[in-house]
Amino acid sequence: MSTPADEDRAALDRFRELLRIPTVSHADESIIDWQAYEQFRTALERLYPRTHEVLTREVIDGHSLLYRWEGLSQADPLVLMAHLDVVPVKPEEWEYDPFAAEIVGAGADAAIHARGAIDDKGSLVAIMEAIEHLVAEGFTPARDVYLSFGHNEETAGGGARAIVAALAQRGVTPGLVLDEGGAVVDGAVPGVATQTAMVGVAERGVMTIILTAREAGGHASTPPAMPATARLARAIDRLRRHPFPTRITPPVRALFATVAPHTDGALGWVFGNLRLTGPLLAKVFPFLGPEMNAMVRTTVVATELSGAPGENVLATRAQASLNIRLLTGDTVDGAAARVRRVIADPEVEIEVRHGSDPSPVSPWRGEPWRRIAGAVASSLGGDVVTTPYIQLGASDSRWFTAISSHVYRFTPFHLTPSEREALHAHNERIRVDSWLAGIGFYRDLVRAS
């Protein structure tokens, strides 16, 4: 007879096997190794046989997976989301092989080092572990449960869009959608003395603007007074020196109201009286770090840069990509207009390559929210405070807002600052105990649904 320790070891073995499959996505899909995705799908069938006996599964948009667990009612189903793909790696930057899934350390410090350990195979495999356990014990959910696993969240998100289109055509209106997002963290807000479960009730919009400056070109030994590269650099610097204004949005206001009773000293009063203190806090937060800055303003940063083809050649075209993340209440059109106004140079071409407005805001009251908070308390600790916040990055969940008004973003793992910083970077990892606790969260959430 297996013990809990045996079950944990078996779950870790399954997790590590799936982490070793390099389901790496690229914007250029012609270079994707689709065989890895097929291998991952086959491994899921073998590792979770009970789930595949009871749940129906469809392959959508070529590689995304949609499971349905039929419940006692079809009304207001639960949708649990994750994604199959991971971002590329530079192995030479990693301390351990990014696709070896090595366990490093012991006891509470033991951690699995692998690309996708958090983003997002950690959630995907924890969901599968929870479902397999519930099926094995003969549990039948009160309402339908769907598992939505997109295959290209890190790039186009077309798999999730196709899943949403399929559900909409069938008249499915989820009562609760949960995707990756905030985590259980310490010190999310200065002065907060307890752990907080950061549940995204909205996410920022995302857009890309291409800036282009042109000139006649020629030899670098005889540059003009304003080369294309200098004109472009000036435009970028103007955006840096004139950031979007700060403001406190309703989800952020709710965050501070929630944590105020758990905040030390005078800060508790400050957070609990945002009608008075909000304007000042909005101005202070940008100085408290990048995450706090992103909570109170639309952000703009130049990412890709290109210029001349050679070191002694004047660029005939200098170009930059701007990545813009829109705060709740801002729009693609409004942000583009502001960029033009701040740059104030008709010689710099401004092209909106693509963009989507911020998501609608889901309520942080009511039965769906209570189910999430209840699962946090029962599986992750009764002293963990569940609070709304704005998701700073984009996720596949934004497509589900078309068919549900209760879309949330939460990754049920306790993550340290260094673990969060490793997302999309080298040395991505998750502590073993943290991952195992996340399985319990998904199990309790399904039971409550």
pLDDT in tens, 318-364: 999 999 999 999 999 999 999 999 999 999 999 999 999 999 999 99
Q: Is the pTM of this model over 0.85?
A: yes
Same structural domain for residues 346 and 265? yes
- Same-domain check for residues 24 and 93: yes
Task: Specify whether the backbone of 448 is left (phi greater than 0), alpha (psi in -120 to 50) or beta.
Answer: alpha
Residue whose entry in the numeric block shows the structure tokens 């793909």:
85
Q: Establish how many alpha carbons lie within 13 A of residue 281's alpha carbon, considering only the half-sphere containing its beta carbon.
A: 22
Tell me what pLDDT residue 263 has.
Answer: 86
In CATH, what number is assigned to the domain containing residue 316? 3.30.70.360
| Number of structural domains found in the chain | 2
Q: Where are the alpha helices (DSSP H) in 211-264?
A: 228-241, 250-259
Q: Which of 381, 16, 336, 386 is nearest to 178 (CA)?
A: 386
Same domain, 366 and 351: no
- Domain finish residue from 332, 356, 380: 356
- Partners of 60 in the β-ladder: 64
Side chain identity, residue 101: A
- End residue of a domain, out of 356, 381, 398: 356
Residue where a domain stops, chosen among 356, 390, 405: 356
Is residue 147 a contact partner of residue 158, using CB atoms and an 8 Å limit? Answer: no
Query: For 174-224, what is each residue's pLDDT tens digit?
Result: 999 999 999 999 977 778 888 999 999 999 999 999 999 999 989 999 999
* Domain region containing 273: 205-356
Query: For position 1, what pLDDT does the model report?
Result: 61
What's the CATH number where 434 sits?
3.40.630.10
One domain, residues 322 and 397: no
Residue 423: the pLDDT is 86
Q: Which residues of the chain have pLDDT under 50?
A: none
Same domain, 276 and 376: no
pLDDT for residue 288: 84
pLDDT confidence of residue 47: 98
